Amino acid sequence: MPEAFPQIEVAIAASTGAVGQRFVELLHDHPYFNVSALAASDRSAGKLYGEAVDWRLDSELPQEISGMELMPLIELGEPTSPNVIFSALPSNAADEIEVHLAAAGKAVFSNAPDHRMDEDVPLVIAEINSDHMRLTDQQTTSGFIVANANCSSIMATLMFAPLEEQFGIDEAHIFTQQALSGAGYPGVSAMDITDNVIPFIAGEADKLRREPLKMLGTAYQAADFPIFPTVSRVNVRDGHLIVAHLSLRETVDLELEHITEALASFRGPEEVRNLPSAPKLPIHVLSQPDRPQPRLDRDTENGMSVSIGQISEEPNTDRMGRRVFKLIGLGHNTLRGAAGQSVLNAELAYARDLLTP
């Protein structure tokens, strides 16, 4: 990390929404970043943040943030606006706006899906593929875009990464039970979700097929194994749970303790471990037979860790004669799965001296 590097002024785009509020919470009093601009849609621009936002987090809305005036999104591209932008923009709206900001020389850390699969945009989980950050050099704009993945893709990739590295994954079947907050506020109607599970979330399955492979591969070549996802929305406020059945490549003499050790010992590179938002353990392995559970485990390490339990081997091999292993993972979808991942990616860029004050 640069010595005596000054705190950097940052802005939050779409700051009043669910992910925008998480950005406000995480960046307030951050050691590297100071929130000096908040932007919102034209209907909210000109209002004070405290007047425009329907604050839905358990934490208190910081008083100094509450008194900040919201600026129009287009003004984030002005030379006088901060050079680092955290984007909570919704899909489609993010496409042109984020390109405009990068062209204006801004470093954009995006939670939006629009540029995740662009060849020159790194899709980053700092502990797994920090080397992909070099793709920013391939972007033709004076600034750059760094994306983080879909919330469930982040959880699945953290579950997969140690096993893909040590044993190789031949095939993955996953079933997600995704929290209500993943749909934003007000999200799913109570009439739809009460006493119910909804086995469909538009666009989610396709993201789970593609995004983990981009992150698990090299900067220029995706990993090569099929992912078969089934997604559902459940009546839980926060915390996505993923049931995974994995066929592994290297199974000669493989025991369950080898899988457990691979997951429990996973750390990521040393430069990432020392970042402010990085958890001490990216993966917590739980031994209790009824864990993980959203209410008990989603806030582990400030919501930045994935908890994994019920690691077992299925009694039958798959149709190809391969051994199949089951594990259940859980993570906080708006922290590790959204705003927290973007903040951690920006901290990595800060440590590498990629950001300008």
3-state secondary structure of 310: strand
Q: How far apart are CA 46 and CA 68, in angstroms?
A: 10
Q: How far apart are CA 202 and CA 285, in angstroms?
A: 31
Which is the catalytic residue, given 132, 151, 284, 332?
151
Unique residue bearing structure tokens 């908890």 = 307
Residue 17 gets the label, from left (phi > 0), alpha (psi -120 to 50) or beta, of beta
- 240 flagged as catalytic: yes
| Residues in CB range of 190: below 8 A, 6 or more apart | none
Residue from 326, 339, 156 nearest 256 by CA: 326
- 28 flagged as catalytic: no
Q: Which two three-digit tokens encode residue 189?
A: 């109607």
Which is the catalytic residue, given 100, 115, 173, 240?
240
Q: How far apart are CA 158 and CA 156, in angstroms?
A: 5
Q: How far apart are CA 262 and CA 328, in angstroms?
A: 15
Query: Which uninterrupted H or E stretch holds 247?
Result: strand 240-248
DSSP letters for 103-172: HTT-EEEE-SSTTTT-TTS-B--HHHHGGGGGGGGG-SSSSEEEE---HHHHHHHHHHHHHHHHT-EEEE
Instruction: Compute the radius of gyration of the chain from its Cα atoms.
Output: 20
- Walk across the sheet containing 227-230 and list its strands: 227-230, 169-177, 240-248, 324-331, 306-313, 283-285
Bridge partners, 246 (sequence order)? 172, 325
**Residues marked as catalytic:** 151, 240
